[in-house]
Amino acid sequence: MRNAWLILGMLALAGVWLGPLPQLAHGAFFAHMAMHMGVVAVAAPFLALGIAGRSHDPVRRWPALFPPIPISLVELVVVWAWHAPALHHAARHSAAGVVAEQGMFLLAGLLGALLALTPRPLYAHAGHFPNLTPLEDQHLGGAIMLIIGGISYLAGGLWLTAGLVRGAVRKREAVA
């Protein structure tokens, strides 16, 4: 199954990087964000599922280099830095910029997913709930964060999309 995850991750990257999105991203902000989310939220988790626990899993090989809080902060800084206007412009208008941005997004997303899928407990306080091992407790907490976070982002995205649709309908009615 791990090989299937790796293949899905590679296919997702190919779809994002070799499809129409890079060309569209030169003039469309939405295409650039679709690339970003395709790398961070689709390809990176699939690749992490394929790598986690294997001999080439960097978190397993060098656990001391991947403490969860500093790595999470690195991911936060990487994502926010590339949303600064100057770096965002570089990523939309130069090959080197887009390669640097997409590569950093992939690494940050991959490391974040590897930490979530780690085969070892990361938190000493986990596992004090009856019938849960520390690792099961940690994985359950991660699942809760993903579910609640996903629902909140979905709700926010739907609300914003509904506003855009209402605005477009109003414009169309005003013209007619």
pLDDT by residue (tens digit) across 77-89? 888 898 899 998 8
- Residues 144, 103 share a domain: no
Of the two residues 90 and 74, the one the predictor is more confident about is 90
| C-alpha distances in Å from residue 64, one per residue of 41, 123, 172 | 25, 14, 58
Residue 91 near residue 98, CB atoms below 8 Å: yes
Tell which of 102, 120, 138 closes a domain: 120
Tell which of 74, 96, 120 closes a domain: 120
Helices 44-51 + 95-116 axis angle, to 10: 50
- Residues 73, 102 share a domain: yes
pLDDT at 126: 60
- Residues 174, 91 share a domain: no
Locate 156 and state its tokens. Answer: 């926010």
- Does 92 have pLDDT greater than 70? yes
- Residues 94, 8 share a domain: yes
Tell which of 103, 120, 137 closes a domain: 120
- Residues 67, 6 share a domain: yes
- Does 124 have pLDDT greater than 70? no
Please measure the distance between the N-terminal and C-terminal CA atoms of the chain and give it in whole angstroms.
55
Q: Which of 100-109, 122-131, 153-162 has the lowest mean pLDDT?
A: 122-131
- Residues 132, 104 share a domain: no
> For residues 9 and 4, what is the distance between their CA atoms, to the nearest angstrom?
9
Q: Which of 70-84, 94-108, 162-176 has the lowest mean pLDDT?
A: 70-84
Question: Total domain count for the chain?
Answer: 2
Of the two residues 156 and 18, the one the predictor is more confident about is 18
| C-alpha distances in Å from residue 3, one per residue of 17, 46, 133, 156 | 21, 10, 27, 34
pLDDT at 138: 77
Of the two residues 6 and 33, the one the predictor is more confident about is 6
- Residues 168, 131 share a domain: yes
- pLDDT-based confidence at residue 15 (cuts at 50, 70, 90): very high
pLDDT at 115: 66
- Residues 106, 141 share a domain: no
- Residues 116, 65 share a domain: yes
- Residues 67, 99 share a domain: yes
Q: What pTM does this model have? A: 0.67
Quote the longest CA-to-CA distance of the chain: 65
Mean pLDDT of the chain: 84
Taken as a whole, the chain contains a residue count of 176
- Residues 156, 76 share a domain: no
- pLDDT-based confidence at residue 110 (cuts at 50, 70, 90): confident
- Residues 145, 116 share a domain: no
Helix (H, G, I), strand (E, B) or coil at 126: coil
Domain enclosing residue 32, as ranges: 2-120
Max avg pLDDT among 3-7, 81-85, 112-116, 137-141: 3-7
